[in-house]
Amino acid sequence: KKYNVAVVGATGAVGEELFRVLEQIDFPIGELLPLASANSAGSTIEFNGREHKVYELTETVFSEHDVDIAFFSAGGSISEKFAKFAVESGAVVIDNTSHFRMNENVPLVVPEVNPEDIAKWRETGIIANPNCSTIQMVQALKPLDNLYGIKRVDVSTYQAVSGAGKAGMEELVKQLQDFFAFKLDESKKEAFMHQIALNVIPHIDTPQPNGFTKEEMKMVNETQKIMKKKMAIAATCVRVPVLRSHTESITVTFEDNIDVNLDDVRAALAAFENVEVMDDLENGVYPMPIISTDTDTTYVGRIRKDIYSKNMLHMFNSADQVRVGAATNAVRIALKWIAMEENN
Ligand code: 2RA
């Protein structure tokens, strides 16, 4: 069976990557419907060696093209306004924005972690894609929770500028060019105070009353929903001058009686779908953005027991934010949804 697929946000960073992933995974596509706002409509995108016209996103475009699966990556307000029209036309919506994630009737899915939740899609017609920094973390946490039972997670993230879309990536490149175009003299210091080039910014998304940011609370709330466990989680989310991959330093505290066995931990991670262990510090083998970018793998390394507590483990991961963190996760959800529908 072939499926008619719409991509809302066809000209954005995630939208463009969705076309690449759909080509590479050889998705059973009937008609492809790239959708964007009025000012991007009329342009064309390349898909499977053919030019496809970008249509304007309207309330009726989904029923006009008999869409089966609609990917949304055009911001929460667009999903809020238009997802219902795709659902009413009979399509399943796979939404990359945060708008529906914490709605209790909407499944929030990382296919390697909680595929069973996809079955809930009929309640609203929507399946929500988690935040990118959540996805790569729960892929590393799930095998460890299965093994020992996690009590608490502390994580610091080093998030690529691609998380801020095309504009974020263009800003980093331009600032690096500007920086090397002239020496950073005192008079220009103020201009660079919140630049990202050669800097790190410990602030992603809106500050919350509890002193954490919205990005940090996304990691807490989404992880608890996906893993169906109210484990304690503290996150510090930092923007770094990297283009495409997020990396994360994760400390896991297991139940008190656990004495972590590193061989069992590495075996559990290595056996987990789409996770690869890269862990040989002596020989400089560990996850890095330069390795994970443009791949669909979540790399985990720097795996080590805590020096003081036998029930604590530290590790480090890296994954491509635009692929693992958005486009590939969404396509993997769609493939599991198709398999479920065709088995019913
Ligand atoms: C970011 N996770 O990295 C957020 C949204 N993609 O900016």
pLDDT in tens, 239-267: 999 999 999 999 999 999 999 999 999 99
Task: Mark the binding-site residues, compressed into ranges.
Answer: 11-14, 39-40, 101, 159, 162-163, 239, 321
Q: What is the pLDDT of residue 67?
A: 97
Q: What is d(CA 267, CA 202) in angstroms, rounded to the nearest whole number?
A: 33
Query: Residue 333: left (phi > 0), alpha (psi -120 to 50), or beta?
Result: alpha
Q: What is d(CA 128, CA 121) in angstroms, rounded to the nearest whole number?
A: 9
- Positions in the chain whose pLDDT score sits under 50: none
Which one is catalytic: 65, 99, 237, 246? Answer: 246
Does ligand 1 lie within 6 Å of residue 292's CB atom?
no
Q: What is d(CA 223, CA 13) in angstroms, rounded to the nearest whole number?
A: 24
Q: Which of 14, 72, 133, 322 to mutate to test the pocket of ligand 1 (most atoms within 8 A of CB)?
A: 133
Distances in Å between the alpha carbon of 148 and those of 114, 125, 263?
A: 18, 35, 13
Report yes or no: 237 and 204 within 8 Å, Cβ to Cβ. yes
Task: Mark the binding-site residues for phosphate, compressed into ranges.
Answer: 101
Centre of ligand 1 from the C-alpha of residue 222, in Å:
14
The burial class, CB within 10 Å (0-12 / 13-18 / 19+), for 257 is exposed
Q: What is d(CA 57, CA 179) in angstroms, rounded to the nearest whole number?
A: 39
- Is ipTM beyond 0.90? yes
Ligand 1 atom 7: residue of nearest CA: 163
Does ligand 1 lie within 6 Å of residue 133's CB atom?
yes
108 DSSP 8-state letter = B
Q: How many CB atoms lie within 10 A of CB 174?
A: 12
Sheet containing 29-36, strands listed edge to edge, beginning at the edge strand earlier in sequence: 55-56, 29-36, 3-8, 69-72, 92-95, 126-128
Residues 74-111 pLDDT 10s: 999 999 999 999 999 999 999 999 999 999 999 999 99
325 DSSP 8-state letter = I
Cβ contacts of 66 within 8 Å, gap of 6 or more = 4, 31, 89, 90
132 is catalytic: yes
Global pTM value: 0.95
Q: What is the pLDDT of residue 14?
A: 96
Cβ contacts of 191 within 8 Å, gap of 6 or more = none
Residues 312-337 pLDDT 10s: 999 999 999 999 999 999 999 999 99
Ligand 1 atom 4: residue of nearest CA: 163
Ligand 1 atom 6: residue of nearest CA: 163
Centre of ligand 1 from the C-alpha of residue 181, in Å:
29
Q: What is d(CA 266, CA 258) in angstroms, rounded to the nearest whole number?
A: 16
DSSP helix/strand/coil, 84 = helix
CA triple 279-239-114, angle to 5 deg: 60
